[in-house]
Amino acid sequence: MTKRIRSKIARGSADLAILSLLEEQPLYGFEIARQISERTGGALKFTLASLYPLLYEMEKRGWVQARWQANAAGRDRRYYRLTATGRRQLAPLRQEWRSFFQALDDLSGVSHA
Amino acid sequence: MPDWKKLVQRRMTAPKLGDGLKEEVTAELAAHMEEIYEEARAKGLRPKAAMRVALQEVESWSDLSRDIGITRSTEDAMTHRTKTLWLPLIAILFVIGLALVLLDRAPALQQLIWTACMALLFCAAASEANNLNERTKRLWLPGFASMTAAGLFFLAASIVSDPSRFTSEIGLRPQSLRVESGPGRTFYISWVAAHILFGAVGAYMSRRAGGTRTARILAGMFPALAMFFICGIVIPISAFAGHNLFVERHPTTLLLGMMIWAGIPGIALLAGAAPFLNQTRPEHRAVVAG
């Protein structure tokens, strides 16, 4: 597998993970990283360096919108919220991944379930 | 506790970011590192070990700076709508307005054009909200919203209260309005009453963007501050410089004008802003809780 394909897969899965999480509720960077790690049992992990360029890119594309607001502890954090454009991205992205895993499953018996 | 902001500031070298963006990015990354540090400390790690955990989040600061510089650069960040719609419209209106001023023609149309320019500028600034620095979001944009609302209301009320005067190009400058007359008084009272709403708009927007109490007051009272500048500084200077006989003989009219066009509306604006001056931000908590 070339580096380009690998990075595209990584990028696609990261987009899906972040957008899916933000579909549930607005979150700030640290919470996004923490919840992804927790909910995937540590299989997916984002460092600060890998997370923020992605979030900023999504913001630039208009998929998410960020706003400073106080968290539960009263500290100002930059919360990311899924926009209508981002929501529209999510459905085809999910379908793409379903097809990808289905193809892998058909090929090698590796099931995503 | 390490000073995370300083630490990030020293390491981040993203030349493409403007001061406002750099400040925001630094604050966000510093907050993230602080939480990692605190989480590590809560797990029982010593300060030095916790600090190492936080620092491990970034392998190469220069790579991170470059990546963030590309994704958050203000270069080419202006939205398509601003470039193709708001700015051309503003440019066209500005040229027409300037031409009318230079030719000293159609003052009523001039008022219409400058109000439209103000509204379009607000639309452009609002659609660029993601590229604005924090002060602009917390003070200037809400203040501008309040002023645009006041300008639009004044224009609409001027047309409604005396359409014939408007269309006959006599103009609707504040000083030409006779407050003591019946229609003028109704106009003035409704104009002042509407300022309660404009003050609320400015202060609410400022609070939503995280503005301090001072920023909320200033944003809410923006139209009155602008009128104070015009009535309290520009008009007196131009009147005395131009040896306006009426003003020289009756200087108190300047004070009266300032009170009518800046003082009383200012009180109404402050009244509207008042409910939004408390420090708690319930709408934020609701979102966080949700």
Per-residue confidence at A19, pLDDT binned at 50, 70, 90?
very high
Rounded distance between C-alpha atoms, residue B122 and residue B120, angstroms: 5
**Does any domain span residue B85?**
no
Rounded distance between C-alpha atoms, residue B229 and residue B235, angstroms: 9
Runs of H (alpha helix) within chain B: 4-11, 19-42, 47-55, 61-72, 80-81, 87-103, 107-127, 134-135, 141-161, 163-167, 182-208, 213-220, 222-229, 235-241, 245-249, 252-258, 264-273, 282-289
**Does any domain span residue B82?**
no
User: Which residue, of B56, B72, B88, is where some domain finishes?
Assistant: B72
CA B73, B74, B79, B84 torsion-angle sign: negative
The amino acid at residue B51 is M
Q: A30 and B32: CB-CB below 8 Å?
A: yes
* Per-residue model confidence (pLDDT) at position A54: 92
Q: Same structural domain for residues B139 and B274?
A: yes
Q: Same structural domain for residues B61 and B192?
A: no
The amino acid at residue B263 is G
Domain count, chain B: 2
* Per-residue model confidence (pLDDT) at position B284: 38
**Does any domain span residue B123?**
no
Q: Same structural domain for residues B171 and B64?
A: no
Q: Same structural domain for residues B152 and B276?
A: yes
Q: A49 and B209: CB-CB below 8 Å?
A: no
**Does any domain span residue B160?**
yes
Place of tokens 């540090």: B37
Q: Same structural domain for residues B49 and B187?
A: no
Q: Same structural domain for residues B16 and B137?
A: no
Residues 38-77 of A with CB under 8 A from B: 47-49, 52-53, 56-57, 59-60, 65-72, 75-77
**Does any domain span residue B115?**
no
pLDDT by residue for chain B (290 residues), tens only, comes to 789 999 998 888 766 666 677 888 999 999 999 999 999 999 999 999 999 999 999 988 888 888 888 777 655 556 666 766 777 777 777 777 777 666 666 666 777 777 788 888 888 777 776 666 667 777 888 888 888 888 888 877 777 766 666 555 444 344 444 555 555 677 778 888 888 998 898 888 888 777 788 888 988 888 888 888 877 787 778 777 777 777 777 778 778 888 888 899 899 999 999 998 876 544 333 333 32
Q: Same structural domain for residues B65 and B136?
A: no
* Per-residue model confidence (pLDDT) at position A2: 47
How far does the CA of residue A25 sit from the closest CA of chain B (Å)? 7
**Does any domain span residue B216?**
yes
**Does any domain span residue B14?**
yes
Q: Same structural domain for residues B63 and B197?
A: no
Q: What is the ipTM of this complex?
A: 0.85
* Per-residue model confidence (pLDDT) at position B269: 92
Token pair recorded at residue B172: 């609707």
Q: Which domain holds residue B275?
A: 132-289
Name the maximum alpha-carbon separation found in chain B: 80
Q: A75 and B31: CB-CB below 8 Å?
A: yes
Going from the C-alpha of A69 to that of each of A4, A59, A81, A84, B28, the distances in angstroms are 37, 17, 12, 21, 12
Rounded distance between C-alpha atoms, residue A28 and residue B202, angstroms: 26
**Does any domain span residue B41?**
yes
Q: Same structural domain for residues B188 and B282?
A: yes
Q: B210 and A68: CB-CB below 8 Å?
A: yes
Q: Which of A30, A56, A68 sits opposite B71 (nearest CB)?
A: A56
**A18 compared with B175, residue with greater pLDDT:** A18
pLDDT in tens, A45-103: 889 999 999 999 898 888 899 999 888 888 889 999 999 888 988 888 888 888 888 88
Range A3-108 has CATH code 1.10.10.10: yes
Q: Same structural domain for residues B155 and B64?
A: no
How far does the CA of residue B206 sit from the closest CA of chain A (Å)? 12
